[in-house]
């Protein structure tokens, strides 16, 4: 009788562990999917910012005044982009 009880306890323990590992695997997959989606969104956001910057650069004043202003905005854009990257890592 003792061997039967021990075998059943071992079986239940293994079943429980398998269930817990399965849950952890699902959580890890969900985290990976979330990070992939977030990375894709970040790339799209960066692209929109870059395209906005390019569009503004097309309207540069030939005298250079607007160019200096755009360069300042671009510097701010790059600083924000670096800050976002640091937060991601």
* Residue in the block written with tokens 């269930």: 19
The pTM score is 0.43
- Contacts with 61 (C-beta within 8 Å, 6 or more apart), sequence order: 67
Angle between the N-to-C axes of helices 65-88 and 2-57, in degrees from 0 to 180, rounded to the nearest 10: 180
pLDDT attached to residue 41: 93
In this prediction, residue 89 carries a pLDDT of 62
pLDDT of residue 7: 77
What sign for the dihedral angle of Cα 69, 75, 80, 81?
Answer: positive
Residue-wise pLDDT tens digits, 24-79: 888 888 888 999 999 999 999 999 998 888 888 766 655 555 555 555 666 677 77
Q: Categorize the per-residue pLDDT at 82 as very low, low, confident or very high, splitting at 50, 70 and 90.
A: confident
pLDDT of residue 63: 54
């Amino acid at each position: 009788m003792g061997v039967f009880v021990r075998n059943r306890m071992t079986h239940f323990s293994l079943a429980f562990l398998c269930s817990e590992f399965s849950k952890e695997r699902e959580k890890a997959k969900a985290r990976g999917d979330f990070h992939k989606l977030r990375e894709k969104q970040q790339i799209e956001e960066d692209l929109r910012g870059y395209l906005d910057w390019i569009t503004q650069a097309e309207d540069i004043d030939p005298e250079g005044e607007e160019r200096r202003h755009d360069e300042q905005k671009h510097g701010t854009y790059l600083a924000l982009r670096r800050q976002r990257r640091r937060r991601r890592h």
